[in-house]
Structure 1
Amino acid sequence: MPSPALDRRSSTAPSTAPPRPARRATRLPELPEVRWAALSAVAFLCAFPLDLAGGPVWIWGPLYALCYAAGGWEPGWAGLRALRERTLDVDLLMVIAAIGAAAIGHYLDGGLLVVIFAVSGALEALATRRTADSVRGLLDLAPARAVRVTGAGEETVDVSRLAVGDTVLVRPGERLPADGTVLQGASDVDQATITGEPLPVAKSPGDQVFAGTLNGRGALRVRVEADAAGSVIARIVAMVEEAGGTKAPTQRFIEKIEQRYSAGVVAATLALLAVPLAFGADFTQTLLRAMTFMIVASPCAVVLATMPPLLSAIANAGRHGVLVKSAVVMERLGEVNRVALDKTGTLTEGAPRVTGVHGLALEGTEVLALAAAAEHPSEHPLARAVVAAARERGLEPGPAEAFVSEPGRGVRAMVRGREVRVGSPASLLTAACPAVDEAERSGHTAVVVLVDGETAGVLAVTDRLRAGAPAAVAALRGLTGTAPVLLTGDNEPAARQIAAESGISEVLAGLLPEDKAAAVRAWEQAGERVLVVGDGVNDAPALAAAHSSMAMGRAGSDLALETADAVVVRDELTTVPAVVALSRRARRIVVQNLVIAGACIAVLVVWDLAGRLPLPLGVAGHEGSTVLVGLNGLRLLRESAWRRAAAPPAPDRSSRGSVPGAPDECAGPDRHSGRSAPGAPDGSAGPAAPSTPEQPAGLANPDPPAASSRS
């Protein structure tokens, strides 16, 4: 019964919701690189007119010195640290060139070099910070204070003081302070920042809510399920920041050759200085030309070509609920040319329902009660379905002892002194069972319950296809040029029905976890680059064996989330092709950047070797190409980049339509025939099959299958 306070508050909703906080943006003065660059530029602009006007050296000289010191001390110090580690740093080459120009009296040219280099470094620092801000801004969505409900009443506390198990009151129009479960009240919550759903989602007791999402016109009491550091928003930010500290293979290769290239630039500079002087050339002009060469040949733009596009793509994906764990992963996702999809929890919603109970050696009610007790400790979606079905019928699962989960086969436990095994027919039966055959022929997943070694009953389970599954399959086919493959431990009729509805033509059914991994390894050995998308413990071996892997985050097991290279937090399958497309675009921009950088270096070097490139123009061309490359990579931070990646491809009807079903007959563990590997459905009791319009004959049907199709 809702409290009067809760009812009173829910009736006084504000007319308009508070504006969504603006994305966090670093102000220019906050960055030390910007402050030093500004000081260097101001000193140069003050010295420049005095120098040109022929003013006394004691006036403009200190200003130039300040310009050199402010703009050059940080890159110079970084270069010296690199030298101590026996590596050459591009920054040090710039400082040496500026000092060399000043040594021959070209204070103006050297000062201009320092200013342009400092401004370029400030822009790079700002771009890097803005990349981080684009994701860290999510943290600003969560309020700083929360109303905690205690036995003595209500108190306002800092969100950091909330603990798991606390109850908080969220009034209409307020943002939720923590991840949790609704205890009391009903409202619509705008959770687009987390799940990407365009419309508010109705929330009632038992529903999950997220920190930073916006409550609608009803008041809610929410039990806190995670502290501030463990919220979905905080995990998104932490994983994206961790990814920012990694380096893609292309970047590692560039850095590997950079050292040799930089050493070659220094050697060529010394040669350009020594050889002409040996033939009597003018020292000033020769030194100026050599310094110009060292500047324009430096690989600054090449070094910057790789990471900004990849990190921008990671940040953009993170804002849309896809956590890519490293730059390596983001680069590899764009290389995939085959996709393998799990069924339960990936193609389907992962919320199966028990739609029929067939008692054999025991009554149906007893079968369901024992199965629920054995499945209760399991985290597999089918286990949750069995437990939920028992509770709907007033059967609270009893205690289970000696619980053992066998991924791909099922579970076993001691319940009230009896050994109970719940799992797939292929793993538990040695002969055909009519009840199992009936369930599978109608597209259900059959779950067998053994009690003390005797077949006690069969459960029929269904699941629904995700709304975006056909679109995601079509998009993945368009990206890779090959149709995705369905890998599942479920029976073949159920798997083929899901495949037909989602547009998949190739199905491998009845696979154990090791069978899934073996299939992935076989593709990899054949030269394919496989992306595996899954969610369960039984998917972990395949996720680990794949070139790239993604896990569905909301229903995914901890092992799958840990093993996968990327996590889909919002649980929308359509984000999988979007991230692959974003990765491919990032790789294209990397190539663009390398071409731009290489072309600029080549043109400027040839121009300088021809003896006609002024130092200021060389500096401007070199630093301009560096800034251009950096800004080109940051294009992937824009919202339009995600919309473009997520845009549906043109419809492809060539491989859509019905897929021939598998034979109806099944006999014990050999029932999975044809292309399927022998084995069990995935998960603790095998993956769920989609719902069908008809219930298998002979199965008690307390809940008819959903009208929409299947899992």
Structure 2
Amino acid sequence: MTATLTPRSAAPAVPARPAAAPRPGTRLLALPEVRRAGAATALFLLALPFQLAGAPAWTWGPLYALAYATGGWEPGREGLKALKDRTLDVDLLMVVAALGAASIGQVMDGALLIVIFATSGALEALATARTADSVRGLLDLAPATATRIGPDGTEQTVAVEELTVGDIILVRPGERVGADGRVLDGSSEVDQASITGEPLPAVKEPGDEVFAGTLNGTGALRVRVERDASDSVIARIVRMVEEASGTKAPTQLFIEKVEQRYSLGMVAATLAVFGVPLALGEDFAEALLRAMTFMIVASPCAVVLATMPPLLSAVANAGRHGVLVKSAVVMERLGQVDAVALDKTGTLTEGTPRVIDVRPLPACGLDENGLLMLSAAAEHPSEHPLARAVVDAAHARRLELPAARDFASAPGVGVKAVVDGRTVEVGAPARLLDEPDEPDDPDGTVVALTEELEKEGRTAVLVVVDGAPAAVLGIADRLRPDAAATVTALTALTGTAPILLTGDNPRAAARLAAEAGVGDVRAGLLPQDKMSAVKELEGAGRKVMVVGDGVNDAPALAAAHIGVAMGGAGSDLALETADAVIVRDELAAVPTTVALSRRARKLVVQNLVIAGVFIAGLVLWDLLGTLPLPLGVAGHEGSTVLVGLNGLRMLRDAAWKRAATDGAG
């Protein structure tokens, strides 16, 4: 394992408004740890063929020496610094072991230790950098400036950090809201999926609350600021991501304790193996050889390879099948999960509104196709998600859409257009019926249909043709085809049914949960509520896996034992904050990856037993008898190769297929 694991809480502080930075991939590859690991590995691989081919030492010796210097200089320097503070860690011990191996002619063995250590350090550096990037990406959601309205009505563009509670800001159509506040004047529809996860824009009128970073629709709003920029929902999400990431640090504390004890034990044992025989009269060279042999056979090469190949092979296997697991540590933790929390929109569902019901009214004289054709033609010029759903439904039925004339859109109400000489209006039932010069609903048919659809978790849309109500459309997000099977599989794997955490309304959440087989539903949640629910489960001793896709899921993803993001519709922050990403957007891959992790963990246990038996046997032989150095090296390297090959079994496609079978219950 790596010598020193950098906790994610140690990520560098993120500036309030970062300047333009290099592309993330380029910046991560430029990390010093990554460059050192890459150089050390390249030098090792370049030297190895020369040595195995029996070439003279001068052809491969300098390459190994450079690998030692490149990969071992920094951990050695840090180890010496720790030694000054009276702390002995595995960094320094492994560098000494590598040098000890070289001093008795086992140059390749020592170089392998250096390469493994450098590579592990690079993985930890990448994980830390990705955490910082995730928080930095969230800051970009909030606009840098806002339009402040002065007491005399003048407009001034100011930095959002300059806004204070009580200021009035103007949010024009298509702009992002600059601060958390309450609408004073105006009406619009605001896309606040980044905060609540709701798939449809929310109508905002005087008295309604709006959040910084949410996207305004077609209307203009005047908003009174109610929170400073540092206390906005977006800013609080940033802090929660950082704090939740830091809650994983206790594992690091445990590792450091084990590392210190192991280091002290190894140093003491090596000195004893050298000093005791020497004091009893053994030849100096023989005592030194015995001590060096002890250091070689007791070195944790086999232990390192016992752990990493199965996990890294499982990571590679998952990657081939559309699941990005960000580190071997994450792969190991996936197998520990015993509780699952699922987001709704974009996770259990496809995240795209669709027309589910078409309910013609008896007096309209049109069938479903005729109504859809008129509705879709009227909605075609609109960019509203509900309009796209209606148009998509018409296209799915291969309906030809005539051109619409005199198109008009009213935020929060709907659209109006002339189609084939008929005046068609499509919009919210309550708003259309309340509009002046519109017909009433004397027999209550529209109201009854609307209530029926809303009880089923649908969004009701009224179609009015030539001034008379013609139909009510039911629009809803659709459950993923594999959602129910995934819920069943996760229940079988963890022993408990998943819970649903969503910012959507309770009726829509309850309907989708019932279809998916989820019993515990928690709806109407803001980001901090989701995180609190996860912390509640974690506080009860559960190891929680959160599966989500939106910015509003980021705090919960970071707080969980494992966070998994859906890659298809996932926000940048969710993808960066999560420990694993379902790249192909297949929900069924979640239980399969958990099952794959458990298989990899079983191989780790097997390998640790093999490594432990070899190390213990060789150490006892060296202490109680005379272990020839070549035999000691052969035993040590043989065990290393054995556990390495055993771990590589996880690379085979058969391993994924078996995991899929396990994940399916």
634 and 370 in structure 1: CA distance in 2 versus 1, 3 angstrom threshold: same
Q: Check conservation: 1:371, 1:422, Cα contact below 8 A.
A: no
Deviation of 1:123 after TM superposition, in Å, equals 11
SS of equivalent to 1:352: strand
The AA in structure 2 aligned to 1:74 is A
Q: What whole-Å deviation, never above 9, does each CA across 1:398-456 have from its counterpart, x for those lacking one?
A: 7989x9xxxxxxx899999xxx999999xxx9xx9644321134x3512479xxxxxx9
Deviation of 1:642 after TM superposition, in Å, equals 1.0
The AA in structure 1 aligned to 2:637 is E
Structure 2 unaligned regions, length at least 5: 1-40, 81-90, 122-247, 362-370, 418-424, 435-445, 463-468
Superposed, 1:364-513 pairs within 5 Å as: 376=383, 384-385=388-389, 388=392, 434-441=448-455, 443-447=456-460, 459-488=473-502, 495-509=509-523, 511=525
Deviation of 1:482 after TM superposition, in Å, equals 0.9
461 and 586 in structure 1: CA distance in 2 versus 1, 3 angstrom threshold: same
Q: What whole-Å deviation, never above 9, does each CA across 1:158-210 have from its counterpart, x for those lacking one?
A: xxxxxxxxxxxxxxxxxxxxxxxxxxxxxxxxxxxxxxxxxxxxxxxxxxxxx
Q: Residue 352 of structure 1 aligns with which residue?
A: 353
292 and 311 in structure 1: CA distance in 2 versus 1, 3 angstrom threshold: same
Q: What whole-Å deviation, never above 9, does each CA across 1:496-523 have from its counterpart, x for those lacking one?
A: 5544443333334555555444433332
Deviation of 1:118 after TM superposition, in Å, equals 6.2
Q: Check conservation: 1:79, 1:92, Cα contact below 8 A.
A: no
616 and 294 in structure 1: CA distance in 2 versus 1, 3 angstrom threshold: same
Superposed, 1:19-38 pairs within 5 Å as: 32-38=43-49
The AA in structure 1 aligned to 2:459 is A
Deviation of 1:296 after TM superposition, in Å, equals 1.2
Deviation of 1:82 after TM superposition, in Å, equals 3.9
Q: Check conservation: 2:340, 2:546, Cα contact below 8 A.
A: yes
Deviation of 1:365 after TM superposition, in Å, equals 9.9
SS of equivalent to 2:547: strand
460 and 304 in structure 1: CA distance in 2 versus 1, 3 angstrom threshold: same
Q: Check conservation: 2:549, 2:575, Cα contact below 8 A.
A: yes
Superposed, 1:551-566 pairs within 5 Å as: 551-566=565-580
Q: Residue 335 of structure 2 aligns with which residue?
A: 334
Q: Check conservation: 1:250, 1:306, Cα contact below 8 A.
A: no
CA distance in 2 between partners of 1:547 and 1:398 (Å) = 51
Matched, 1:84 2:77: yes
Matched, 1:522 2:523: no
Higher helix share: 2
Deviation of 1:458 after TM superposition, in Å, equals 6.8
Q: Check conservation: 2:46, 2:63, Cα contact below 8 A.
A: no
> Which TM-score applies when normalising by structure 2?
0.55
Superposed, 1:668-707 pairs within 5 Å as: none
Q: What whole-Å deviation, never above 9, does each CA across 1:520-577 have from its counterpart, x for those lacking one?
A: 3332332222222233455455444433232322234445444433222222211110
CA distance in 1 between partners of 2:613 and 2:428 (Å) = 62
Q: Residue 273 of structure 1 aligns with which residue?
A: 274
Q: Check conservation: 2:453, 2:459, Cα contact below 8 A.
A: yes
Q: Residue 325 of structure 1 aligns with which residue?
A: 326
CA distance in 1 between partners of 2:360 and 2:576 (Å) = 37
Which range moved further: 606-615 or 392-401? 392-401
Superposed, 1:281-296 pairs within 5 Å as: 281-296=282-297
284 and 423 in structure 1: CA distance in 2 versus 1, 3 angstrom threshold: farther
SS of equivalent to 2:92: coil
Deviation of 1:36 after TM superposition, in Å, equals 1.8
Aligned with residue 580 of structure 1, among 594, 601, 612? 594
SS of equivalent to 2:545: strand
Q: Check conservation: 2:44, 2:63, Cα contact below 8 A.
A: no
CA distance in 1 between partners of 2:359 and 2:557 (Å) = 34
The AA in structure 1 aligned to 2:311 is L
Q: Residue 649 of structure 2 aligns with which residue?
A: 635
Q: Check conservation: 2:43, 2:63, Cα contact below 8 A.
A: no
Aligned with residue 74 of structure 1, among 67, 75, 82? 67
Q: Check conservation: 1:312, 1:634, Cα contact below 8 A.
A: yes
Q: What whole-Å deviation, never above 9, does each CA across 1:636-685 have from its counterpart, x for those lacking one?
A: 2211111111115676xxxxxxxxxxxxxxxxxxxxxxxxxxxxxxxxxx
> Which TM-score applies when normalising by structure 1?
0.52
The AA in structure 2 aligned to 1:39 is F
SS of equivalent to 1:550: strand
467 and 31 in structure 1: CA distance in 2 versus 1, 3 angstrom threshold: same
Which range moved further: 89-98 or 606-615? 89-98
Q: Residue 203 of structure 2 aligns with which residue?
A: none
CA distance in 2 between partners of 1:519 and 1:433 (Å) = 36
Q: Residue 50 of structure 2 aligns with which residue?
A: 39
Q: Residue 314 of structure 1 aligns with which residue?
A: 315
Q: Check conservation: 1:444, 1:462, Cα contact below 8 A.
A: yes
CA distance in 1 between partners of 2:44 and 2:636 (Å) = 19
Q: What whole-Å deviation, never above 9, does each CA across 1:56-101 have from its counterpart, x for those lacking one?
A: xxxxxxx6777866656633664455433325253542443453x4
Q: Check conservation: 1:292, 1:608, Cα contact below 8 A.
A: yes
Q: Check conservation: 1:76, 1:91, Cα contact below 8 A.
A: no
Q: Residue 571 of structure 1 aligns with which residue?
A: 585
The percentage of counterpart residues that share the same residue type is 57
Deviation of 1:483 after TM superposition, in Å, equals 1.6
The AA in structure 1 aligned to 2:76 is L
The root-mean-square deviation of aligned C-alpha atoms, in Å, is 5.0
Matched, 1:602 2:616: yes
SS of equivalent to 1:467: coil
Q: What whole-Å deviation, never above 9, does each CA across 1:129-153 have from its counterpart, x for those lacking one?
A: xxxxxxxxxxxxxxxxxxxxxxxxx
551 and 93 in structure 1: CA distance in 2 versus 1, 3 angstrom threshold: closer
Structure 1 unaligned regions, length at least 5: 1-29, 45-62, 102-109, 129-246, 404-410, 450-455, 652-711
The AA in structure 2 aligned to 1:317 is A
The AA in structure 1 aligned to 2:582 is V
Aligned with residue 623 of structure 1, among 624, 632, 637? 637
CA distance in 1 between partners of 2:534 and 2:612 (Å) = 38
Superposed, 1:644-663 pairs within 5 Å as: 644-647=658-661
Deviation of 1:262 after TM superposition, in Å, equals 4.3
Superposed, 1:184-333 pairs within 5 Å as: 257-258=258-259, 261-262=262-263, 264-333=265-334
Q: Residue 561 of structure 2 aligns with which residue?
A: 547
624 and 415 in structure 1: CA distance in 2 versus 1, 3 angstrom threshold: farther
94 and 487 in structure 1: CA distance in 2 versus 1, 3 angstrom threshold: closer
Q: Check conservation: 2:554, 2:573, Cα contact below 8 A.
A: yes
How many residues are matched? 449
CA distance in 2 between partners of 1:31 and 1:394 (Å) = 64
Q: What whole-Å deviation, never above 9, does each CA across 1:16-40 have from its counterpart, x for those lacking one?
A: xxxxxxxxxxxxxx96434422333
The AA in structure 1 aligned to 2:580 is A
The AA in structure 1 aligned to 2:317 is N
CA distance in 1 between partners of 2:625 and 2:428 (Å) = 80
CA distance in 2 between partners of 1:445 and 1:283 (Å) = 85
The AA in structure 2 aligned to 1:597 is A
Deviation of 1:295 after TM superposition, in Å, equals 1.2
CA distance in 1 between partners of 2:531 and 2:427 (Å) = 24
SS of equivalent to 1:83: helix
